[in-house]
Amino acid sequence: MARLSASDAQDIFATAAELADAARVATLQHFRSDGLTADNKEVARFDPVTVADRLSEERMRAILARRRPQDGILGEEFAPVAGTSGLTWVLDPIDGTRGYLSGTPTWGVLISVRDAAGPIYGIIDQPYIQERFEGGLGRAEVNGPMGHKALVTRAARPLSEAILFTTFPEVGTADEGAAFRRVAAQAKLVRYGTDCYAYALIAAGQIDLVIEAGLQAYDVQAPIAVIEAAGGIVTDWQGRPCHDGGRVLAAANAAIHAEALALLNG
């Protein structure tokens, strides 16, 4: 991890908060608005991008250009920006655009800072319900309609008592779906969808597992930082780092992680 002074950490906190505030305004400007449409970024499936996605990222990038021009930027909608500081801001301006288009409140804005080793700080922000989860650099907290709370993941319990979230079967290959179903068959409760909000629920101690596939770096780096700060574990399906996305297993603790990992690998 990069060595940051206390003043550097405070500037990262302040910058990230300004980014999240700006993204809230940009995304809510178009949320549930009449005539909201989306372009499709893929041919094989519907992968939408809206004017709100682009506006949110543009406003965050403008803040970074002003406040931290020495840092790099990796965002979903625009080209990467090289930095000189060794730190890169990883931005997903709307994680869950399908949910955003549908009018559900389970999409979010993902903001993280990474060094050469991986994410060191992250925010999962839900603008509509005004919940902000943050973790890393000594912080693990949520602020929202129910006030301020520390983030702490659930204590160990058997998979038979666990709550599992995923976006399967919408994502993943047939083999990945089969691996997921091996875990799901043993869980107490399985829920589908919610995108980044499911990762926030792990950090908040509400659920035990999230299993995904086909993710990008900007999908997972903020959740990694927030969950790990709260005491959880996020790896790929072989137990390795997953900072660049791919197959992701997020768990509240080491015991449930190990049980799910064994089933994913047959």
Distance CA 146, CA 69 (A): 35
Distance CA 114, CA 112 (A): 7
- pLDDT category of residue 50 using cuts at 50, 70 and 90: very high
SS3 for 108-128, per residue? EEEEEEEECCEEEEEEEEECC
8 Å CB contact between 250 and 202: yes
Three-state DSSP at 250 gives: strand
Distance CA 228, CA 120 (A): 10
Domains of the chain (ranges; CATH) run: 6-150 (3.30.540.10), 159-264 (3.40.190.80)
Residue 133: φ, ψ to 5°: -105, 130
Q: Is the dihedral of CA 211, 265, 47, 17 positive or negative?
A: positive
Q: Is pLDDT at 169 greater than 90 in this prediction?
A: no
Q: What local confidence, expressed as pLDDT, does residue 1 receive?
A: 57
Q: Is pLDDT at 147 greater than 60 in this prediction?
A: yes
8 Å CB contact between 214 and 241: no
Average confidence score pLDDT of the chain: 95
pLDDT above 70: percentage of residues in the chain = 97
- pLDDT category of residue 197 using cuts at 50, 70 and 90: very high
Measured distance between the N- and C-terminal CA atoms of the chain, rounded to whole angstroms: 34
- pLDDT category of residue 94 using cuts at 50, 70 and 90: very high
Q: Is pLDDT at 247 greater than 80 in this prediction?
A: yes
pTM: 0.95
Task: Give the pLDDT confidence of 152-166 residue by residue, as tens digits.
Answer: 999 999 999 999 999
* Mean pLDDT to the nearest integer, 28-44: 84
* Mean pLDDT to the nearest integer, 54-64: 97
